[in-house]
Each structure stands twice: as structure tokens, then as C-alpha cells.
Structure 1
């Protein structure tokens, strides 16, 4: 026997990457994902650990030989070339599993018979006796994988599929396989949530598979600890002492881990399912750690106790016939309602074979993974149960009951929509701020983007009760679709808090969905989902239009350019050239798209990636018109030191004005509400405060949204 062997763990389609990570964590070497499984290597102990501890593998195979098998005779000869006395004796029993694909041998049963004949004939020729066949519980199970006329022959060390943990006493209709349930939980982040003490809830628990797998993970329980049989136990290469050592270790870890199992609760409307779940829980010895009870989805609640967060995981029915699907729409809708009302702050993982039904939840999924339940392709929807992810699923009035305050909020929206909507229509403005914390208790900003809605929740003061703030936000999200007559999927919400350093560039998502809007003659792309800001600062609308009016024939420089909207307006105003400078490649790419959308590209409209502060120290040439809109503060890793607009604005303006043509104009703006211009330190410049002229009507309620100056050389 060699101390280092090669193995192969099979797994359901879609689970291979997770299995590879799991095997690495167990100590395997040379881990490589393959077709429906993962190859790995190591000592025999690694294979034993995989059999005992893998939550994801179906079988663990020990490959013995790989050889051409273009005919039954060649297959027979290849099997005979292996010394089978190393693995079993004439007193042993055997069985053969065969899988064939793309080969001249097309029948798996026939291939299995040829392998059995080759093994038996070898023993009979050598000893005059032969092992017998036991299809149910053989001493040695042989596995053939025949692909494109190449045979891989292996010993099945697991003996039976590893998804059979040994705790299932009885099942219900179409239960999840245990290793698929484990994959769902791992994808959903349950191990991390459990480590933080979060709860696990399954509102349609069936026979309890997800609950039990969740408890096994949280309690550091080996999934194979209860299995009565493994394929290596009567294999001649078996190391009984090693196996006993591993079993004792697993039993000790279980004893230590039970105390770490957090609250795990399951519900189901079917009393038979609950009875089956209790039987399985008892078989696993986890009655003190898992609770299940009969409860309809409409009565779903957070488990008793203080749980700020946790994971709700569910495998609801998918429906196969039209009538079933129609009935299930209400089930999914009710589940979504209960999530919104009871589980804000939790994560939800919905495993469904019908994505259209998943939409009836009325919750936007952050991401999806594809997994297979047998041959059926299914999606695992990952949902963060937060108001910004609530969407209208067209099921009538919102389930959130409106308070007196919410009614006041709705009335204020209607009033603002009437006055500002009329103004915007007259001015040809399609993107504007509708509401900005007009009612202090409803501290949000609501911006309209040509039929889309962007909502920003201002971070509540510490003295405000989080639950009250969350309730008010739910009311806001419930009111908006009705008052604005906009479907929920066109409403995006983000939490705005004080930004530090590069946080202003932090991503909220990866949807990459750009929406085209208009500002005057400009066509601009905004992104309402992925970033805190959308790519268009609405309060700078008059400033950008002013730049367009000043730009005719001018050489224009846009510093800290963001998505380049000011460059577009300058180009549309007839600028002879534009130079757009920003430190972020993401924003420069965005600016390039905005310029191209309006027909501007090439040498006259350049973009440069640079730290603007560093760039100013080495820049050459003159510009007739400059727009300078720096951040209030920055400590980006891509720049040296920090930048504070109040502390550093004199040096910044002096360096920028050095690039200004003698009769040129610099428009300087920032959004530091406490900013004080130090004009006395810049006697060489003529500085005119034009802030009031650049605050648009939709920001008059918040006139300190920005500061703005027109600056010329003296």
C-alpha cells in the first residue's frame, strides 16, 4: 500500500466548487474540480475524513486503473489486469456500478456484467473458488466510469451514497437530498450566521432536512457519524485502527459542539411532515436543539427571543401543472409578506425550481446560484430582507398598515408632486428631488429619474429606536408605489451615512443596470442600484447648465469629474475641447459612455485617470473654463496623505488657477455645509459667491446642499 493515493469525490451538478473548498479544508492535496465531482489526493486518512465529514460529496472513489475499452473484450482484459486479491477474497461479496457515455459499449448493465465476470474469473483461475455477488450490501463495491471509450475503474469507499446520513427515519414527498440541503445552507452563509449566534428558520420544513443539516454544521457534527455502513469496512486495504481514531475524534467534537447550536426552528402546515421531522430529529439525537411545529405560512413569525438577524431558508413547492402554479402564487406571495413584516434584517435563501414563482415573493434577490435537484435545474435566491429590496408584486394594496405619520408623509409627497411636478414639466426637467426629509420623522430623500425612483434613507441618530426607524422606512416604501404610480421594481433604496475615504465609491450591488435620462439637451446614464450616488448630482443641474452656456469655443477642464456629466454639458455648449480627470477608472469609463452617448469622442474629448491633487502639480497648458468639484474629505489608497477641502482649498485653488487662461473662468463647488472660503489668502483671484444662483427650486428646502463660486484671475 502507498501512503499517498489519488481519489475522486462525486457530487451533484453545481456543487463541485463548494466540494473542492470543503476537501481543501479537510486537508486534501491536488484538489481539482472535474465533471460531476472533484479529484484530490492524500493518505488514506483523507479519504476516510471525506467519507465521514463531507457534507457535499455523494461518493468517495479510489481509482485503481484507467485504460482503453473500445470493446467488451478490451474492458474484460483491463479488469483482469488488476490484482483483485489486494481488495477482496473468495469469501467476499461484490457489486458493480457502471456509467457509460459516448462509447462503443452502450449498455451499462452489460459493462457491469463483463467487469463482474473478469473479477470472478481471475479468482476461479487462481484458487478454484470465487466471490459472490451482493447488490444490496457488498463487501466491495466496484465503480466503472466509461467515457469516450476510456474506462476508469475504482473502488467505492463510501459503499452507499453519502447523502444518506443515517438519521432519516421516514420521509415525505420529494425530500431534498442531504448533501443538496448542505450546499444550499453553505451558499446561504449559514455557517457564518450560526457562528454569530443567528437563528435558522424553515417555514416549510417537510421532514426537517435543512434544519438537521443546519444543526450538524453549527454543532460541528460529522454528517457520517450515524451511518451504519461504509464500503471500506470489509475492504482488504482497510485500516481499522485509523478509522476508530477518526470516529472517536468525531464523537468528541459532537459532544463539544452541541452547546454551540443556536436556535433552529421549523414549521410546516402538514402534520405528517411534522411527525416525520420529529422522528428524524430524534434519530439524530437533537430533540433538545431543534424545534418543529405545525404552522401555516400565513402565521410565520420570528422565533421567540431577541434575534436581530438570522437565516430563513426554504424549499417551497415548485408546481408542475398549471393549476398548481396558480395556487402557489398566493403561497409565495404570503411568504414574501411575512418576510417583510417579521424578518427585516434577516437573510433569506429561497430554493425554487420556478423562478417566476420566486418573483411573487415581492423581494429583490441580491444574487442567484444554480443548483440541481436531481435533473431539475433550480435557483437559489439570496435575499437581504431590507425595505430597499421590497418590490411591488401586483397583489393589491401593500400589506404594511399605514400610521398617521405615514399618511402625513403620503400627503406631503402628493403636495410636492403637484407643485414641483408642474415646475419640472414647464422647465423640461425629468430628474429632480421630490422630497428631502420634509417631515423629520421620515428622514429620506426621494429623487425622480424619468420614471424611476431613488430613495436615500438618512442614518438615524443613535437616540432613535431602530425598530421605529425600520417601521417608518417600511411605510415609506409602501407609500411610494401608490402615490407616484411607479411599480416597486423601479424604486431603489439606499442608506446614506457619513462617508469616509473611499466609502463614497463603495458598491451596493453588481447589477450594472444603467438607465438613460435627459438633462436639457444632454443624454446621461445613471445607475440607481450599485452605488450610493447615482452618477448625477441633481443639485448641480444649474451649475452644469451654466458651464454649457460658458463653454462655446472654450478649452474645458473637469477635475474630480465623477461620471462626466459636466463634460457632456460643456461639449454640447460648443467647447473646443474637454479634458475629464478622475482617480476612478469606473467613473472614467462611465464618463466615456456619457460622452459617446452624446456623440463626442476622439482627441478633442480626452479622459485621464489620475489623482487630481497630484495631477495639478505636474499639469501643463491653459484652460479657458474649469470646473472644480472636489470631495469634502478623501483618504483614498491611490493618493498620498489625506485631503480636506476646508484645510486644503487655498492651495487647491491656487494650483488650479495656475492653469486658467488670463480671461478664463473657474467654477469651484463643494458640499461641505460648514465651508468658509478664505478669500483673503487668495488676493490674486477675483472670487464671486454664486451659491444662491446655483441652488435649483427642488433643493430650496436645503439651500446648504452645496457652495459655489465663480473665480477669475485678478
Structure 2
């Protein structure tokens, strides 16, 4: 065989340029980059060195042969023509990886099977011995890539991917691959800083991947020094003496590096469950004397190197995938920026994020940004110099820093985010919140109302609803029209979220945000998260449970408060029926008002369980019936009489009896006729809904006494939007 081989190094997409520099430094000749790979030429010693020292590659592939292939048969013949006896014994094991398509091969499994068959047939002995397939730990791992009619057949010298260093046996919920972490550190200039004896800190270190990779670089330790099993270990072309020489040289460099005074490397993690796994990973990497991990919140992060030297702060904040994450993530990034400005002057900072728009909220200007991929997720690496000149102060042209808009009240104090750091639009939004709070807060306190709407898209560019639930804030973002740039809509949402804590003086952790779109069928019942956080709130003399995190709705429709209080006033001694009862908040009010009995009907088990807890919370249980049923079907079968009926149906809902889906506009006549047959003489039926285009059928007025009472069912917190719902009172003609 030739002493010089064609070598392919594969890597995560976006690391090609860095890998090219590294490969050239390690001896790869004629190197050039390709998509997710670097190609060049090297002798076997260099190939071994790439396996041992590459911090960025996934695999080191040694090309055995290139040949044209236009059919499955030419693929088979080309693979079989290789002298496989030079590489694998007939009793050995192999695994085949196949990529690409063409030549009549569109299925990678079929392609791998043809390659395997060719190798096995070439090595089959007269006695019938032949290699067997072993996917997990084969003697030889073969890779074939089919590309534009050419087959590239290679041996995988690395075996398992080189990012698997072996020290990280325990990992967190969203682990960063080791070679990506190394790339981030290289982009951030850590090798140079480490050579200068500078420090490194990670305020959200998780299980310590950044810390270990930084320690390996600082101590001049080959990243795969401790790996025992290689793709070339059982390869017949392997030269053990050459490998042992390179490995011994790497061990000597590691010993020399670790004998030097350690570089200051520290990690901090808020989750106590990750501290020991991080320390275990550090110990397996042999860096216990260099790298330390402590439990600590971001709010108290303050790196203090032994010699007082500055260095690099590096972190990978969470990206946020669950409902309500936008608010918590915004405040996390704001806190991170605040800690950098207050505790890390003179340091460099590197923030790797899948939510780069949040990086803009840190209050620092990044001097460099790199587009990277974390698996299939596009991300950015933001680099900062923590210097006063790079602080984003929020100053607005023509107005002193921190000054409010003309005619607006000054922002309230007590806030972790400086009001001066708000954008001009954010400041205007904050001022509107304060104005509304001043007006509505007095009314709410006077009426004994703890939950109310503070803001409802008052300013068209900030299309959110802001509701107060005691000392919690619930934010709903309305879906922007197609004419609005999604990036601009996201920026405005972040402006609003940044403004809420300083404007209302609330803890950022008590702000929950959700996206609100039109919900059809049963989507409004779908669980969105699993926090299970119920909290008790009060409405007049009634206690209710709300859940701000797990569902799109909270369990309490704020706009129907006047209707609930009306039902409470009229319920004494009456038989009350609540159809489409949801969490039965109206039922609780009726029971509190002295209803003789109540019956509440809904199709959702989730909400009936919630209703049961609401009733129990107020001491009601025995005489209050909860029925799980399709409302229309139940009305057709029920023969009870009720003095007071409340119907607040969804716009659309699954129904067994009405063409599969209940449509409020189409089906309300049938619904109301059925309900009116259950209304006792002298009774009243209240009907409301939130469908903006709803029109009550005129024929109902010929059969019943119908009175629209919409204006009487809108409290001051919804006066800005008087058509939030419509309501009618029906009784016998």
C-alpha cells in the first residue's frame, strides 16, 4: 500500500474553516474544506495524529479507493476489487456506513448491504469462513459515499465519533457536543488567553463541557488521549509502534502541562443535581486540580481569579422550547448582561445561543458574531469585550438618558432591569402600563378583585394582552398579521417583556408569556406544559384556582367576571345549570350566592377535575353535580328543570350530535331551544360568547323574550374593548 493516503475529516456543519486550520497545523497536506468536511493527504503517522489531537473532527476517514459507479452492480464490483485481506481477517467483524444516493441506489440500507456483501464475498474462505456484521464495536468500520456517480470507499480510523472523548459519562438535559464546545472556545480566543495565563469562568456550566475542553487546551492535553478503542485497533494495516510513539509523546506533553501552575478555570451551576456529575466529568478528564465547580445562581455570579487577572466568560444559556419560556429567557439574558457589566469589566465574553435576538437584550454590543449549528439547530456565537464603551445605555436622540416620554409618568422603582435600558418603544409601553395600573388598581382594590386585564393591545404595535393575577403577570401575544415582519413582531414582544418588571415592580420570574392564535376544536384543552402550578386567587368573596403555565387559558375568563357576579346575586334558592362549564367558576359563584343545587356539564375531564377543586376550595361538594358529557347530547336526554341557566360555549367544539363539530353561529339556535325546554317557569337563561362576528338568530325573539345585556357585562378593565364578548338574557315570552 502507498505511504500517502487521501484523508477525509468530517465535522459539524459550520466548523469547516476551523478544522481546516487545525488539520494543516497537524500535518494534513493539500488540505481544502468541503461541506461538513476537510479533505487532504497525509501519511499514516499524520492520520494517527489527527485522530489523537483533533479537537474539532468527528471522524478520520482513510480513503482506500475511488471508482466510478453507475449501478448497484458496478458498486459491488468496485468494492470487491479491493484487497480486503490487507485490512480484515475472514473471522473478523465489520460495520458499513453508506451515504449519498444515485446509481440506482436511493436507500442507504440497500447501499450498505451491497458494500457488505462485496467485502464478505471477497474474504469468504473455502471452508466457508466469512466476516460477520457487528454494528456497535466492529474490528473494521467501512464508509462509502456515493457522490455524482463516483464511489469513495474509506476506512474509519476513529471508530466512534471523536467528539466522544470518554470523560462525559453523565450529561445534562441539553448537552453540547465536545467538539462544538471546543470550536466555541477557539473562536473566542481561549487558546491565546490560556497561553497568557488568563482565567475562564462559565456561569451556567451544566455538567462542565466548556470547563473540561478549556482545561484540556490550557494543559496541552490531547483530547482523545484516554480513548482505548480506535477504528484502527484491529485493522490489519495498523502499525502499533508508530501509534505508541505518538501516544507516548502526547502523554509526555500532558504531564508537562499538568505540572505547570494551573490556569484558573471555574464553573457555577444553579441546579444542585448537576454539581456532582460535573465534578465526576472533570475528574475523569484528569483536571481536578485545574477546574473547579460550585453551586451558584447567575444573580450572584462574580468571577474572582486568584491573581485578579481577567479572562474569558463563556456560556451556553438555554434556548427555550416550552410555552411561556420567552419571558424567563429574556430576563435570564438581561441578568447575564447585568452580571457581565457589573462583575466582569475587562473580560472577554462568549455567549453561544439558539436565540440570538435575546443576545441583543444583554446591554452589550458584540464585536463579532459567528453562525454555528448545534445539530440541526441554527445558532450564533456572540463575542463581547466587556468595556464601558460597549455598554448599550438606551440613550435616545434628543432626550436625556433615562428620561420618560413627554407627558408620561416616570417608571416605578425596584426593578432588576434599569429603566434606561429600555428601548424608546419599551419605555412608551412601560408608561402605558403604569398609567393603566394607576387607574385600574384603585377600582380593583375597591371591588375586591385580584385578577384583571391591565392592557389589551392599547398600542397597536404592541399586540399583547397583559393580565394581573395577584402578584403574577400573564402575557398573551396575539398572532401578528401576515403583513408584519415576524422578526419585528418578535422584537416588539421582547421590548414589552423587558418593560413589564420595571413598569409594574414585579419579579421577572412571575411573568408568564404565551402566544395566542385562534383555537379550533379541542386545541384550547391541550396541555402545553407540565409544571402543574396551580395558585389560589380571589374574586370578591370566592376563591378560585388558576394555572398560568400549563394551558393556553388560565382557568378563569376575566371578561366574564360581571356575568359571574350577576349569577351570584340571582342564584339564591335556585337550581343552577352551567353548560360548557369549563372550570365551573360561574358555578362556584352561584353556589356562593346560595343556589339550592348546581349542575355543570362539560366534555373535558381535565376541566371537570379542575371544577371539582374549585368547588372544594370554597367548601362545596355534595349538592353540586359535575357531568362529563357532550352538552347537546346531554340536553336531548335530560329532563330536569332549572331556574337559572348559563351558557358560554366555545366558538368551535367537538360534538357528538351536531355534524361532529359544534359551530356557535350555525348551531346556537338548536342549543338555545334545547336549553329553554329545561328552563323552569319564571327562570332566566344567560347566553354569551366571544365570537366577534356572531349574529343572534332573529327568530329567537319570536319564541322567547330576548334582551341583549352586553354593555352591562363589561367591567372597566375591558371597557377599551367593549365587544370582547356579547351577552343576552332569555326568558319565557
TM-score bracket relative to the smaller structure: 0.5 to 0.7
Residue 381 of structure 1 aligns to a residue whose secondary structure is strand
- The equivalent residue for 2:364 is 363
Indicate whether 1:229 and 2:229 are aligned.
Answer: yes
Aligned equivalent of 2:288: 287
Partner of 1:497: none
Report the equivalent of 1:207: 207
> What's the secondary structure of 1:366's corresponding residue?
strand
Q: Is the 8 A contact 1:159 1:230 kept in 2?
A: yes
Q: What is the CA-CA distance between 1:223 and the residue it aligns to?
A: 0.5
Per the alignment, in what secondary structure is the counterpart of residue 94 of structure 1? strand
What's the CA shift for 1:482?
A: 8.3
The yes-or-no answer on 1:347 pairing with 2:342 is: no
TM superposition shift of 1:480: 12
1:361–1:393 Cα contact (<8 Å) kept = no
Q: How far has the Cα of 1:54 moved from its partner?
A: 0.3
Task: Tell me which moved more, 111-120 or 126-135.
Answer: 126-135
Q: Distance in 2 between matches of 1:175 and 1:344?
A: 29
**Shift in CA distance, 340/74, structure 1 to aligned 2, threshold 3 Å:** same
Q: Deviations over 1:372-391 (max 9, x none)?
A: 11011110000111112111
Counterparts of 1:127 and 1:61 in 2: how far apart (Å)?
A: 32
Equivalenced residue count is: 411
Q: Once the 2 structures are TM-superposed, how far is the Cα of residue 259 of structure 1 from its aligned partner? A: 3.7
Identify unmatched segments of 5+ residues in structure 2.
402-416, 428-733
Partner of 1:318: 319
Q: What residue in structure 1 maps to residue 36 of structure 2?
A: 36
Q: Are residues 16 and 452 of structure 1, via their aligned partners in 2, closer, same or farther at CA, if it must alter by over 3 Å?
A: farther
Deviation at 1:169, TM superposition (A): 2.2
Partners of 1:451 and 1:486 within 8 A in 2: no
Q: Which residue is 1:5 aligned to? A: 5
1:608-627 matches, within 5 Å, as none
Show CA shifts across 1:321-367 (max 9, x none): 34112211111111110000000110000000111121221111101
Helix, strand or coil at the partner of 1:279: helix
Tell me whether 1:162 sits opposite 2:162 in the alignment: yes
| Aligned-residue offset at 1:449 | 7.6
**Counterpart in the other structure of 2:485:** none
Contact 1:3 1:43 in 2 (8 A): yes
**Distance between the aligned counterparts of 1:134 and 1:267, measured in 2?**
42
Q: Is there any run of 5+ residues in structure 1 with no aligned partner, and where?
A: 395-447, 454-477, 489-714
Distance 1:307 1:101 in 2: 57
CA distance, structure 1, for counterparts of residue 127 and residue 148 of structure 2: 35
Moved >6 Å (runs of 4+): 448-453, 482-488
What's the CA shift for 1:34? 1.3
Deviations along 1:25-71, one digit per CA (max 9) or x if unpaired, are 11221111112111121210000000000000000000111223332
Q: Is the 8 A contact 2:101 2:108 kept in 1?
A: no
Residues 390-426 of structure 1 deviation map (CA, whole Å, 9 limit, x = unaligned): 11479xxxxxxxxxxxxxxxxxxxxxxxxxxxxxxxx
CA distance in 2, matches of 1:347, 1:219: 20
Q: Deviations over 1:597-635 (max 9, x none)?
A: xxxxxxxxxxxxxxxxxxxxxxxxxxxxxxxxxxxxxxx
Alpha-carbon spacing, 1:75–1:484, altered in 2? closer, same or farther (3 Å): closer
Counterpart of 1:334 in structure 2 is 335
Q: Which residue of 2 aligns with 1:498?
A: none
The separation in 2 between residues aligned to 1:72 and 1:392, in whole angstroms, is 65
Q: Is the 8 A contact 1:265 1:303 kept in 2?
A: no
Q: Distance in 2 between matches of 1:192 and 1:287?
A: 22
Please name the residue that 2:455 is paired with: none
- Structure 2 residue matching 1:237: 3-state secondary structure: coil
Report the secondary structure of 1:241's partner residue. helix
Instruction: Find the aligned partners of 2:144 and 2:198 in 1 and give their Cα distance.
Output: 44
Matched residue, 1:112 = 112
- Confirm or deny: 8 A CA contact 1:359 1:393 kept in the other structure: no
Query: Structure 1 125/292 Cα, relative in aligned 2: closer, same or farther at 3 Å?
Result: same
Residue aligning to 2:580: none
Q: Is the 8 A contact 1:169 1:283 kept in 2?
A: no
Q: Aligned residue for 1:242?
A: 242
Is contact 1:391-1:487 (8 Å) kept? Answer: no
Residues 30 and 330 from structure 1, CA distance in 2 versus in 1: closer, same or farther, beyond 3 angstroms?
same
d(CA) in 2 for partners of 1:42 and 1:303?
Answer: 45
After superposition, what is the alpha-carbon deviation per residue over 1:101-146, rounded to whole angstroms, capped at 9, x for unaligned? Answer: 4664111111111111111111126664211111111110000112
Q: How does 1:299-448 map to 2 (within 5 A)?
A: 299-392=300-393
Contact 2:394–2:422 (CA<8 Å) still a contact in 1? Answer: no
Deviation at 1:484, TM superposition (A): 13
* Residue in structure 1 matched with residue 476 of structure 2 by the alignment: none
Query: How many angstroms apart in 2 are the aligned matches of 1:132 and 1:267?
Result: 48
Aligned equivalents of 1:255 and 1:387: distance in 2?
41
Residue aligning to 2:181: 181
Q: Per the alignment, do residues 484 and 280 of structure 1 end up closer, same or farther by CA in structure 2, a change over 3 Å counting?
A: closer
Distance 2:398 2:326 in 1: 35
CA distance in 2, matches of 1:340, 1:452: 21
1:276 Cα offset (Å)? 1.1
Pair 1:298–1:34, CA change in 2 (3 A) = same
Q: Summarize deviations over 1:466-513 as a string: whole Å, max 9, x none.
A: xxxxxxxxxxxx99958998999xxxxxxxxxxxxxxxxxxxxxxxxx
Partner of 1:196: 196
- C-alpha offsets along residues 634-675 of structure 1, whole Å, 9 cap, x if unaligned? xxxxxxxxxxxxxxxxxxxxxxxxxxxxxxxxxxxxxxxxxx
Match of 1:17 in 2: 17
8 Å Cα contact 1:49/1:246 also seen in 2: yes
- Structure-2 residue corresponding to 1:142: 142
Asked if the contact 1:104–1:149 (Cα under 8 Å) also holds between the matched residues in 2, the reply is no
Partner of 1:296 in structure 2?
Answer: 297
Deviation for aligned residue 1:160 = 0.9
- Which residue is 2:64 aligned to? 64
Q: Whole-Å Cα distance in 1 between the matches of residues 145 and 422 of structure 2?
A: 62
In structure 2, distance between residues paired with 1:292 and 1:162: 25
CA distance in 1, matches of 2:329, 2:223: 33
Query: Offset of 1:263 from its aligned partner?
Result: 0.3
Asked if the contact 1:452/1:486 (under 8 Å) is kept, the reply is no
Q: Secondary structure at the match of 1:143?
A: strand
**Is the CA contact (8 Å cut-off) linking 1:166 and 1:228 kept in structure 2?**
no
1:339/1:241 CA distance change after superposition, 3 Å: same
Which deviates further from its counterpart, 128-137 or 63-72? Answer: 63-72
Tell me how far apart the structure 1 counterparts of residues 421 and 316 of structure 2 sit (CA, whole Å).
32
Residues 301-334 of structure 1: CA deviation (Å, up to 9, x unaligned): 1124233420000011001234112211111111
**TM-superposed deviation, 1:150:** 2.3
Structure 1 residues 143 and 127, CA gap change in structure 2 (3 angstroms): farther
Distance 1:482 1:179 in 2: 36
Query: How much has 1:245 moved relative to structure 2?
Result: 0.6
Asked if structure 2 preserves the Cα contact closer than 8 Å seen for 1:198 and 1:307, the reply is no
Question: How far off is 1:285 after superposition?
Answer: 1.6
The one-character-per-residue Cα deviations of 1:514-571 (angstroms, maximum 9, x if unpaired) are xxxxxxxxxxxxxxxxxxxxxxxxxxxxxxxxxxxxxxxxxxxxxxxxxxxxxxxxxx
| 8 Å Cα contact 1:353/1:377 also seen in 2 | yes
For 2:45, the equivalent position in structure 1 comes to 45
